[in-house]
Every structure is written in C-alpha cells, then in structure tokens.
A and B are shown apart, each in its own frame.
Chain A
Amino acid sequence: MEVVRATRRLLALLLVGGLLISLDVVGVARTGALGMAIVISILALRVYTSLAQTALATCRVRGSYKGFVEGGDVDVEYEVCNDSIIPIAFVEFSLSYPQYLRMSKGSRGGLIAIPPRGCIEYRVSFKGRVGLHRIGPLRAVLRDPLGLYRGVELNLGHVMEVRVRPRVSERLVRALLQASRASGISRSRRPGEGVEFYSVRDYRQGDELRRVFWKALARGKLAVKEFESETSAYILFILALDETTLYGPYLETPLEHASRILATIADYASRRGDNIALLIMGPGVLEGTRFRRGRRGYVEVLNLLTSIDYEKHILRTGPEAKAMIGDGAKIVKYIKSMCPRERINVIILTPASEKTINVIKNLTPLRNMGFSLNTFILIPQLYGLTKLSPLEVAVYRLKVYNDIKRAYDKARELRSNGIKTVIVTPWETPSRIMATLNSI
C-alpha cells in the first residue's frame, strides 16, 4: 500500500505542465521552462510528501489527561514530536472521542505544521461526565502545501481511558446522617451506644453523668438511661441501564442523576457503617462489587460507577445482550452469589423502559428469600424538561404524557409482582430515596 496518493488536482496541474512543454516543443510559445518548472515542482512535492509522511508516521506521540470529577474540566493533552530533520506541513488532524462527550474548550480538529526536531502540543477540555470514556487517538492526514498529494490517514498516539467519578452531595449526606440520628435507624435490640431509648437501670461506677435519669433521681433513686446499640445494614444497590438513561441535557441525564444519588447514598451508608455493594445491569452485562463495610464499600461502589462504559454497559446491542436481559434466573443467581447472607435490602434505580422493568420483574424470587426490594423508577422523558421556557415545558409535557403514562403502567406491573415501587421525578428523587432508606 502506498503511503501517499495523488489528489484530483494533480492531474489538472500535470496536464497544464505538459501542455506548456508541448507548446514550446512545437514552437508555438516559449513556455517550456514554465512547464518544466511545474513538472519538477510536482516531483519535488511528491518526494517531500513521502518524506514528511514517513516522518509523521514515526513521530513520538504522548497523550495525557487530568480531571476526574463529573461536571469539572477533563483536560486532554497530546504532544507530537518530530525527531526527524524533515518539516511536516501540513497535517489535518481530528481528535477521536465518543459522541456523547461534550468538548468545552479547544477545537475538535485543525491544521498543524510540525517543525523538524520540534514538538507541538494540542490541548482540549471536556465537561466530565460520569463513566469511562475512550479519548484518542489523533487521526491525521498529511498534505503537501499545494494539496496535490495526500498521505494515508494515520492514527497518532494511543486511546486514553478517561474515568470520571460522580459528584457526591455533601449537603445531602449530612441531611441523611442527621435524619438517621433523629430516627434511630438500624436498631439492634441490644443496649449500647445509640440514640434510641432502650431501658433504665441502676447506676454503676463509671457511668457517664449525662446518662443519669433525673426523674428517678428526683424520686431518690440513682439510675441511668440505656440506649439501643445501632448495627449495620446490608444494602445492595442495583442500577439498571439502557439507552434511555442517556436521555436529557448533558450532565442532567438519568444516568448522571442516578450515579450522583448512588454515590451520595453510598457515602452516607459507608459513614453509617453499613455493608454495601453495587450491581450494574446493562444490556447483556452484569457487573457488581463485593459487599464491603464502611469506606471500602464506598470506594468500590464509586469505582464501579466510574468504570461505566457507555459502549459496553449502555449502548450494547445484539442477540447476546437481548438473551441475557430475558434470563431472570441467571440474574437472581448472580445476585445470590454476590450476597453473603439472605435478608438483604435492595434499592433499585431503573429507567421506566420496558427492557429494564422486565428484568426487574424477574427479581421477584428474591422476595421469597427475604430480600427487601425497593424500586425507584426514573422517567427519562422528564429529564428533557430542563433548559426549556415555561410554555415549552408545558408543550413538552403534553407530548410525552402518554409515554409517562406507560411508565405508570410499568410501576403498577412491578407492584403487582410484590416489588415496592416508587416513581420519581428528577427534582425529588433524593428525598424519596432518603425516606425509603430511613425506613430500612
């Protein structure tokens, strides 16, 4: 395969050169020198383009990125170094990256010249969205300055796997912790450190003064209050994914929304000392973390959310993906293998799509094993309501109302299967989940 190919401009110029030489040879005009100059220029450009293409193919390319948090800038940088003595001009380039990423700074492509023994740097920024994204390589095509020759397309640099983690709402975590203190969740029916009143017993040496039961003291008896010891719960989060989880404006899709909520709740649960795990169910994909207590559990959940691969977990199609979605027994078996015991609290976040709801319906056997299933249905259509004017919101609502009604039907189906199901809108999901969590 040749590395350099002629463009259609070449033939035109070659014919002009040939014509000028011919005119001189037959004695019509003294244009031979000009014709020869054109032909020699063409040859020179051919030689140059071949050399420059070889230099471009052997360029040293280094790619790097920084920025890991959703909503922040992910800065991607490529350094292309030409170690040869041949100047490389001109190279048209274009950065490869997933369609669902949004570039916030820089240009997707452009024209560059790389000096001999010199380097160029190319920097762009993306608005980070949760998950794993493959950015790069730089696609490059070389042309000579007159555009007579074009090199074959080269890929410069390697593909970078950029992982962006979801934002955790510290405010929400604090609110959840406060609520859990107030309600005294996770009761153990044993006296110890806690907030829930358990009983009154006689004072023993070493008891804290603040525990003294003043009403009893008033009656002349020195007694102290005992509180119920809190214990940790086992919570399995399930995130069901399909293409509808990408509906909505950038960074405001059900996927990002659910990831943020899960990260926040995982943070809260880890601080509470719960054993937590996360299972991602995509088209044909089941991927979960092991049950871990405290911070380790949170980190594992965060890592799995960070490695959500859009192509693999969400946009995957084909018979394999479909077959697995329909196979409920396999999913139940997988969940059972994840769980160290029965009676696990399961919190499911799913879009209101037929595919994911059918998968969740298959989880009914878990109920018989003592699992508590709580499903939150996100309505992807409602995520399109943001960034619209009031009248547009109303019109949009009318248009999607029938779709939303179908989501209600899905919720009813789940309920009829004995799965606690709540429909949630984008603007009040955290409070609904919080209420459910506190009731566990």
Chain B
Amino acid sequence: MRESRGKEVLVPGLLLLALAVIGLVALLEMGPLQILTAPGAYPGNNGPLGTSILYQKLRENYTVIPVTSWSHIRQTLNPCNLSVVTIIVSPETSYTDEDLESINHLKGSCKKFGLLIADEGVESNRVLESIGSKVRISGAILQPHILVANLSTPWGWSGRVLLDKASRVNVLQPSGDVIPIGFVEILATPVAVAYYENVNGVEVVVVGDGSIFLNQVLDSNIGEYPLSFIRSTVAHLCGELGNCIVLMEASKYIGLDPIEVLRSGDKRVLGLLNMVDLVLSLIARLVHPSTWLPPLLNMVNHSIRSLVELNPYFKGLIVVVGAVIVMLVVPRERRVKDAMLEDVAEIDWYGFGEFRRHLVSHGAKLTKQDFITLYDMVNTILRSTTGSTLEDPQLPSVLETIGVSRGEAETFRGFMVKYYRRATGKTLWPPLVMWGRITRKAIMMCEKILEPLGASITRPSKLELIAERGLRSSGGS
C-alpha cells in the first residue's frame, strides 16, 4: 500500500525553483528567439510586400500550408496521397540541398505535383534545376519596370496583367513540352516572361515577376487579373478540387530583429512592416531569457567583483554571510540516520526452542537432574513392559527372558541404581561424579536394554507411548 498522498508534498518548492532555473538555461541554450518579422513576400507578412492576401484568398478554396521547413513538411506529408501545388514567390535566400531533396521527395511521392514560381530573381532557379525543368529566370530586370504582359495559358485563361520589375524567362533547350504563356513588348519586340512546362508529368508554371502576387497589387484595383490568373493556374495544377493542398514558401525570407528595426528608425523598413506584428514580436523578444538573463548575470558578477576589489574586508563579509545562510538553511533540512531496511527474520518455533538451538549449535551440558529424569523414564518403561523396576533385584532375570544377557542386565541395573542413589543424596559415594559423562554412558546402556523392548531413546519410537502406559498403570506421573 502506498503512503497517503494527501499528507506529503510530492513536488517541493525547491524542486520547482530548480526546474524553473533548468528551463531558463535550456531556453538560453536554444539561442535567441527567431522572430519572423520579414518585410518580403512572406505569407505571414501583411505589409504591402507580403503575400498574406494571396494566402487568405487561396484558403477560401484549398488547404494552404505556409512551409517554414521543407524537411518538416516532407515528414508531415508522408505518405502523401494528395495533389500538391507548391507556390514560390520571390524567395530571398538560397535553397539548400536538403530543401531540394525534400521538394523532390514530395514530387516523387505525392499523387500529383505542380509548381508555380513567380520570381524576378535567380533563387528559384535551383528548384527548377532540381526537378529537371529547362526553364530559367534570367534575373536581369527588364526596362522599363512597369510593363503590361499578355498571358494566355493552355488551360484557357487569357488576360493582361501589370508587371513591376519583371525578369526575362529563358528556355535552355526549346522543346514541345515548354510553352511560352506570357509576353511583354519591349521596343516592339516580344519578350517571354512566363512559361508552362510539363516535366515528366510535373506541371510547372514560371512567371518572371513575383510582384503580381504581393499584397500591394492584390489589394489594389488592378489585382483582379493577377488573382484570377493564379486561381485558374492553381485549379489547373491541382486537377481535382478537395483533394489538393497548396504549399506556400515561407522559409526563404530574411527575418528582422524588431529591436534592431526600431533602433535603426528606418522609415522605409518600418513602412513595410505591420506595426501590431512588430510590437508583439518586440514583447516576445524582450521576455525571452536570451535578452535579459546574460546581461543580468553579467551585472551581478560585475557588482560582486567590483565590491570585492573595492574593499578587502568584503571577502570576509561574504564568508560570514555565506556561513550565516548555511547555518540557517542546514538546520531546516531534516537529517535522518541512513539505516538499512530490516529484512524479515525467519524463525522456527520449538517446544524447548532455546535449548534445542543450543543443543544443535554447541551440544548440550547434561546434569545430575538429567540422570534422574533418565532413570525415571527408563523405570517407567520397564515397569510398563516387564512389570519390574530398576530397584527390583529380579530385573536382570526378567530381562534375560526377553533376550538381554544376564551380565549386561546386572551391570546396567547396578550402574543405574548406584548413580541414582548418589544423585538423590542417599549416598555420598562415589565422591566425585562427572554427571555429563555418566548420563551419556547411561543413555548408551539404556539404549541396549530398551531395544529388545521395542523402545529407543535415540530414535523416534514408541517410547513416549510406552511411558504413558506405564504411568497410567501406576496411576500417577
């Protein structure tokens, strides 16, 4: 049975304090807080350069997951029995081999995989290369910045969208699988800014401008066409509605430290960020122990060091204060004697327990009284079986009739009577008697005499029953 829980404190206060300290140190070990205050085309950014509106609009029809780690999404979508459309809008950092491997794994394992890239830079090219596409974004911004693109897709969507900072999109090896779907006219020359490609069943749409999906465009009066274009494209890449999820790139954007942003006072950057998000990020950053714990410990360390250096007597004071604290704390600890648990001591009970134990371990000391008992016992048995007693001079002849030699019987009787008289004080002869030896000798002699009578002192036998009969017939014990 367990001890009552009601009376004991299972988690003492000191333990909670220690756990809190361990937690703080663990948080510190994890490094500074990663606050995603990104001014770029990040789905979580609801500033003008973010893609939060695109995220919201797509969520109306699809399950949309902002991808903050490609390896994590690979594990999450395993197995992947869905159609997956990946949208990458103007990434700011490079893709690692691990990211590309995860994207390729999704391409191979999912039921259908489609890719929509809208980027004026070259960071997306690694993704296109890794999936085997022949299309590349040049990265050179076309002049002038504002251009009108005519888009016409194989799945029947056509229209005009306004581009801001677009790049040319090139094809490495022209083939029937690569179809240009968007052009701008520069100096009366058509320049391809969008392509559709089917790479072994993986449909890829590349647009050389990410700005058409940004909040500032989709929120404006010219956002209708880009939104229609993207809806049509995603619907085509998904194939069937309801069994398709959309992955929006959210891992390749440069995050900003809110403290640094505020400290710099850069109005351009501040203008690109949502103030509510910025304030919340700032609070989280300040609360995190990586912000305040190291400076605090540093300060305490500095203070003590400066105090010690300031006054040599302060060392002594620290020792005294420390000693006082120990004196106060140590008596509060209840000290116990660390004794072993007591095991069960197995015991045997005996009628004559202590004597039997002594007999077995050390042998027994026989006394005069034991000789008297032996005499009494043998006398009772003889009376019960032969009708004669040891005092009876006729006993040897009686014993002779049951097979005991006369000489032996006489010696036995003489020995027993002689020492019985000595034991009971009827005679003083012999003057010196070693009762232990005499009793042992008497036992051996009795054994020989009693054997023909069917009794034995040294073995389990009917001795007690014969003795009882003898006592019963004599009418007393």
Contact = CB atoms under 8 A, between A and B. Distances in A.
A322 interface: no
Contact of B348 (A9, A54, A250): A250
A324 interface: no
A155 B352 contact: no
A425 B465 contact: yes
Contacts of A153: 341
Interface in B124-147: none
Interface in B4-61: 7-12, 14-15, 18-19
Contacts of A298: none
Interface stretch (A115-123, A276-284, A374-382): A374-382
B347 A395 contact: no
A395 to B, nearest CB: 5
A109 B440 CA distance: 44
A13 B345 CA distance: 35
A100 B341 contact: no
A27 B315 contact: yes
Contacts of B355: 396, 399
B458 interface: yes
Interface in B326-353: 326, 330, 333-338, 340-353
A249 B326 CA distance: 58
A93 B462 contact: no
Interface string B77-97: 000000000000000000000
Interface stretch (B98-106, B176-184, B265-273, B366-374): B366-374
B377 to A, nearest CB: 6
A143 B336 CA distance: 12
A94 interface: yes
A423 B3 contact: no
Given A158-B1, A384-B352, A396-B356, A25 B471 contact: no
A400 B316 contact: no
A159 interface: yes
Contact of B338 (A147, A155, A156): A147
A247 B338 contact: no
Contacts of A100: 346-347, 349
Nearest to A47: B18
Contacts of B353: 247
B9 A393 contact: no
A388 B440 CA distance: 16
B390 interface: no
Contact of A150 (B3, B338, B443): B338
A158 B472 CA distance: 54
A428 B338 CA distance: 53
Contacts of B337: 7-8
A426 B325 CA distance: 72
A1 to B, nearest CB: 4
Nearest to B356: A384
Given A102-B346, A248-B349, A388-B360, A1 B7 contact: yes
B123 interface: no
B257 interface: no
Contacts of B452: none
A312 B341 CA distance: 27
A297 interface: no
A293 to B, nearest CB: 35
Given A6-B333, A402-B373, A394 B443 contact: yes
A408 B471 contact: yes
Interface string A1-25: 1111111111100100010011001
Contacts of A98: 344
A342 interface: no
Interface string A376-416: 00011111111010111111111111111110110110000
A6 B458 contact: no
A3 B468 contact: no
B319 A385 contact: no
Contact of B9 (A1, A243, A244): A1
A393 B335 contact: no
B2 interface: yes
A373 interface: no
A18 B322 contact: yes
Nearest to A136: B1
Residue of A6, A137, A156 with most chain B CB atoms under a 10 A cut-off: A6
Given A397-B463, A408-B468, A380 B330 contact: no
Contacts of A54: 10-11
B381 to A, nearest CB: 11
Contacts of A137: 1
A237 B471 CA distance: 29
B22 to A, nearest CB: 8
Given A396-B352, A423-B464, A92 B377 contact: no
B352 A8 contact: no
A94 B334 CA distance: 24
Contacts of B7: 1
Contact of B345 (A1, A46, A99): A99
A61 to B, nearest CB: 9
A249 B348 contact: yes
Q: Which of A11, A243, A383, A396 has the most CB of B within 10 A?
A: A396
Given A27-B315, A109-B341, A137-B1, A7 B351 contact: no
B305 interface: no
Interface of A: 1-11, 14, 18, 21-22, 25-27, 43, 46-47, 50-51, 54, 57, 92-103, 108-109, 137, 139, 141, 143, 147, 150, 152-156, 158-159, 243-244, 246-250, 253, 379-386, 388, 390-406, 408-409, 411-412, 423, 425-428
* Leading 8 A-B pairs by shortest Cβ distance: A381-B351, A390-B458, A94-B341, A108-B343, A7-B338, A6-B333, A394-B457, A47-B18
Interface of B: 1-3, 7-12, 14-15, 18-19, 315-316, 318-319, 322-323, 326, 330, 333-338, 340-353, 355-356, 359-360, 364, 366, 370, 373-374, 376-377, 439-440, 443, 447, 457-465, 467-468, 471-472, 477
8 contacts: A5-B335, A25-B319, A46-B18, A92-B340, A141-B341, A248-B351, A396-B364, A397-B463
